[in-house]
Amino acid sequence: MSAATNNNGRTPVSSRLPVFPWDTLSDARSRASAHPGGLVDLTVGAPVDDVDEGIRRALGDGAAFPGYPTTHGTSALREAAAAAMQRRFGVPGIDPQSVLPVIGTKEVVAGLPSQLGLGAGSTVVIPEIAYPTYEVGALIAGAQVVRADSLTQLGPERPDLLFINSPSNPTGKVLGIDHLRKVVEWARSRGVIVAADECYLGLVWEGSAPSILDPEVCDGDFTGLLALHSLSKSSSLAGYRSGFIAGDPVLVDELLTLRKHAGYIMPMPVQAATTFALQDDAHVETQRERYRRRRAELLPAVEAAGLRVDDSEAGLYLWATRDEPCRNTVDWLAGKGILVAPGEFYGPRGATHVRIALTATDEAVTEAAKRLRS
C-alpha cells in the first residue's frame, strides 16, 4: 500500500495536494507575537474594513426569499456585472447571458480544470510565482502543472488551460496590452483556454491594468477567454463569497450546465448584495483610497528598512526582498513583531522574496511603518 492509499485501496484526492503552507509559519508567528508592542500580522490578504452600509442593506433585502435561487443568478445581477465591466474596466459587449455568479473565485480556480473536463494527460500552465490555488486546481483534476511566464518557455507545447493573473498575487505585476494580446493570439492559434484571474484589476496604483476582455486585447472576440472577477477585495466582501465569470459564451454556458447539476449556487441574499455592489462605484473608490493610503505609508517604510520592493504596481501586496532566503527575511521582520508571508509559498522563483499585505487596519500599518523605520 503506498503512503497515499488508504485501507480500502482508495487514494484520497487530498493526498495529491501540497502541505498547507501557512502551518509552517508558527515559529515566526510566536516570535513576532512576543514583541512588546504585539503582533502586526501582514500575512494574509483578508479585508479588514467594514462592509459598506448599502451592501448590507441589500443583503437584508434579499433575505426574505424562501426558494432556491438560480445558478445563473438574477438577470439584475448579470446585467450589473456586464455594466460594471464596461464602466470600471472599459470592457463593452459582455452579454449578461454570458455572466455566471460564483461562490467566491477560489472555488472557480480550484474547480475549473476539472469542470472543463481536464484530467490525466492534460496540461495546465500557471504563472511562475502564483496564487497557490492554480496548482491545486490542476492537481485536483489530476492534470500536469507547468509554471511559465513567457510563451517561449512553452515551446511547441499545446497546454489545455492557461491561468494568468494580472495584477498578480503576490507580485503586484501588471501585464500590459501587448503582452495580453500575444497571449490571446498564441492561445487562439493552439486552441488553449485562457482563464484570466482579474480579482485585483480595480486596485492599480501605477499605470493601468487591462482586462483580458478589453477590446484592445481581444478585438471584442471572447472565444476561449474567461475573466474571473471577485468582489472580495474591491468591495471588501470576502465574507460574502461573491464573484463572477464573464467571457466566452460557449464556455460560460458549459460551466453553467455543470454548476446547475452540481448545485454551485450563490445564495439569494448574496446575489442581492452583489447586484448592489456592482451598481455602486462609490464604495469601491472609498476602499481603493484606503489601500492607496496604506501603501503610501508602508512602501517607503519597507524601503527605509533596507528591503527592495519589486513590481507591486498594483494589488494588495508589496513584493519585497533583502536578496536572501525568504525565511531569513520573515524571521528578521518577526523580530520587529511583523509577520509576512515567505515568497516560497508562491513557487520556487519566490524563494528570496516576502509578501507584505496592505490589508491591515490604519493603526496596524502605522505601527508596522514605525517599527520598520526604527
Q: What residues make contact with ligand PLP under the rule CB under 6 A?
A: 45, 104-106, 109, 131, 165, 169, 197, 199, 230, 232, 238, 243
Least Å from the CB of residue 105 to ligand PLP: 4
Q: What angle do CA 38, 39, 45 make, to 5 degrees?
A: 150
Give the contacts of 91 (CB within 8 A, at least 6 positions apart).
Answer: 85, 211, 213, 214, 215, 227
Least Å from the CB of residue 170 to ligand PLP: 8
Lookup: cell for 231: 468582489
Hey, what's the torsion of the CAs at 51, 55, 61, 64, to 10 degrees? -50
Least Å from the CB of residue 130 to ligand PLP: 8
Quick one: 105 or 275, whose CB is closer to ligand PLP?
105
Q: What angle do CA 89, 93, 97 make, to 5 degrees?
A: 110
Q: How far apart are CA 127 and CA 117, in angstroms?
A: 21
Quick one: 106 or 371, whose CB is closer to ligand PLP?
106
Q: How far apart are CA 153 and CA 156, in angstroms?
A: 9
Interior/surface letters 205-219, b for 16+ CB within 10 angstroms, e for the rest: beeebbbbbbeebbe
Lookup: cell for 228: 474571473
Pairing of strands 225-230, 193-197: parallel
Q: How far apart are CA 308 and CA 319, in angstroms?
A: 8
Least Å from the CB of residue 96 to ligand PLP: 20
Quick one: 109 or 143, whose CB is closer to ligand PLP?
109
Least Å from the CB of residue 44 to ligand PLP: 8
Least Å from the CB of residue 238 to ligand PLP: 5
Least Å from the CB of residue 241 to ligand PLP: 7
Lookup: cell for 322: 533583502
Quick one: 264 or 332, whose CB is closer to ligand PLP?
264
Quick one: 159 or 243, whose CB is closer to ligand PLP?
243
Quick one: 114 or 369, whose CB is closer to ligand PLP?
114
Peptide bond before residue 101 is cis, with ω within 30 degrees of 0: no
Quick one: 34 or 48, whose CB is closer to ligand PLP?
48
